[in-house]
Amino acid sequence: MAGIYIYSDNNEIAAEIIGFAKRVGKEAVLLAFDEKTAEVMGNSGADKIYLLNGESELVESYAKAVAELLQKEEAELFAVGSTARGRELAARAAGYLDCALVSDVSALSYADGWFLAERMMYGGLVQQRESLDGLGVVTVPGGKFDPVTGNAEVISMAVQADRRVSLVETAPIVRQGADLSQADKVVCVGMGLDKEEDLETARALAEAIGAEIACTRGIAEERHWLPAELYIGISGAVIKPKLYVSLGVSGQIQHIFGIRDSQLIVGIDTNERAPIFKAADYGIVGDLYEIVPLLTDALKKQTIDRPE
Amino acid sequence: MSKVVACYKWVADEADLRIDADLSVDFSRVKGKISDYDKNAIAEAVNIATAWGEKAVGLTFGTAKAKQSVKDALSRGLEEGYWINADEAADADGAAVAKALAAVIQRIDDVGLVVCAEGASDTFARQVPSRIGAVLDWPVVTSVMKIEIAGNGLMTVRRLDDCMQTVKVQLPAVIAVLPEINTPPIPGLKAVMAAAKKPVHEFKGGDLGINFTPKTKAVEFKGYVMARKNVIFKEGEAADKVRELAAALRKEGVL
């Protein structure tokens, strides 16, 4: 069956992509690899759910089988949630199909028989729009579309897995810090901090305003002062808090990529020419060690004084 | 065991890009570099080859400008450099890049493993390693933060969005590594000198029998500028600047 074929290991993103498919008037076919997902997604508005049964626990191992299915069904688009599993499945399927793949789209639309996708390049400095002709693949981050409702018909089919990769063990992620993607306020430290003990100054500010602590890639991967999951940037966490405050962050574009959806950006740094100030709503040029304790004090009072 | 190929990309250093007032992108002052994340891939390829007692070699696909990358790559512990010289590389998409890299991987004797970064620092599309695997029909493991040798295969640890996975993979395979997998050493003077003497193999894009036409049509390519208030307090006493900022944050209602 022609239409938009959809997969995500994140059910919310899958539901959002189904919403997109229905809104542009296409058939929506959801691929599920386990019965539970097929059941949970039964009322997500998809026309059909293909329940693919095979011998591997790794969804990515079905890339070739999925590519063959898409071709056989004459799919118009394979839209996949942009998670680690989704990205791999999408790119391997695109490789087997030798077709287009636009990854991590910032926007996706359909008009006059063409899908039009937008994505960021060069760490968010450049925006590119591309049109897809014929079967193509896109990966879609969460929050781009609204879900719909409606019952789906579930169709089971057997698929072959690539057995050369096998799952040995699954372990939960042991978080050493907060889940930054959900944080309401974030205080971020950068290489402008002189020594590890100075993190306490940043923590005091974070505590005063109820923020999570985060850092730049350099702090996590060169100095190892904070765990890797707390660095913000294109290869790290991408956040969307109400308030982001940076301390001693120069604002390289890879970092800015991770904060661009913040509601309000505040930068504090000694270097007046630091790029962070171009990306900031508010900023203070000055010595961190003088500014941050004063700010902590001022905001602590405001938070306490504020009527509930 | 067999050879390890590290794939890398010679990219425009995004720090040199300028966005003009009309949102056009100015590449005129741009210098090239080996994509930052690819340095992790090269270091990991060298580590595994060393453990196997085998050779790690480098492979890149680019325009004539990419030639200058080879010596840099070789100074990072690779034994031989392979590079594909193609004018088409300027506009190539993930499909073309993967096919070109795979074509040369097939021409190198006895490759057991291909190591890539997840994505390059210019496009960060994170699709080439998976596509190489598909073109070669080899198994692929992405999002890898740790690799251990396990008999005739590899044991890898993947960091996914919702869990960690330990995954065993048979060889030959393609692996995409996360930047946290290692800290690439900065090459010393001796390594830089030695790099000049290592063998370099050049391939011409036209000899690989690949159609380089991109699969999508780029309809727009322009600078992106965030609309921000840019209210910066820079003059006066620290206490005054803090007072002004605190007042602004209260007014914005974000506290």
| A120 part of a folded domain | yes
Residue pair B205/B87 in contact (Cβ under 8 Å)? The answer is yes
> Is A12 inside any structural domain?
yes
Contacts of A294 in chain B (CB under 8 A): 238-239, 242
Q: How many helices (H) and strands (E) does chain A have?
A: 8, 16
Helices B128-136, A63-73: inter-axial angle, 10-degree rounding: 80
Residues A87 and A222 occupy one common structural domain? no
Domain end point (choices A94, A125, A158): A158
Q: Both A256 and A150 in a single domain?
A: no
Do A185 and A123 fall into the same domain?
A: no
Verify that A149 and A191 share a domain, yes or no: no
Mean pLDDT along residues B186-197: 96
Token pair of A75 as six digits: 């799919």
Number of structural domains in chain A = 2
Q: What is the pLDDT of residues B196-212, one digit of tens each?
A: 999 999 999 999 999 99
Q: Note the pLDDT tens digit of each residue in A241-293.
A: 999 999 999 999 889 999 999 999 999 999 999 999 999 999 999 999 999 99
Provide the pairing of β-strand A114-121 with A48-53: unpaired
* Residue that is last in its domain, among A158, A189, A205: A158
* Selected residues 134-193 of chain B with any CB under 8 Å from a CB in chain A: 134-135, 137-143, 155, 158-170, 173, 178-180, 183
> B131, A286: Cβ pair inside 8 Å?
no
Q: Count H helices, E strands: chain B?
A: 6, 15
What single-letter amino acid sits at A74? E
pLDDT of residue A303: 56
Cβ–Cβ contact B3 with A under 8 A: no
Nearest to A294 among B138, B179, B242 (CB): B242
Tokens at B85, concatenated: 């010289």
**Which residue in A64, A94, A272 is closest to B131 by CB distance?**
A94
Q: What residue numbers bound the domain in which A253 lies?
A: 180-305
Residues of chain A with pLDDT below 70 are 301-308
Supply φ then ψ for residue A279, to 5 degrees.
Answer: -95, 0
User: What CATH number is attached to the domain comprising A184?
Assistant: 3.40.50.1220
**Within a domain: A168:** no
Domains belonging to chain B, first-starting first, are 3-208 (3.40.50.620)
> What is the pLDDT, as a whole number, of residue A235?
84
- Of A80, A93, A94, A5, the C-alpha closest to A49 is A5
Residues A147 and A213 in one domain: no
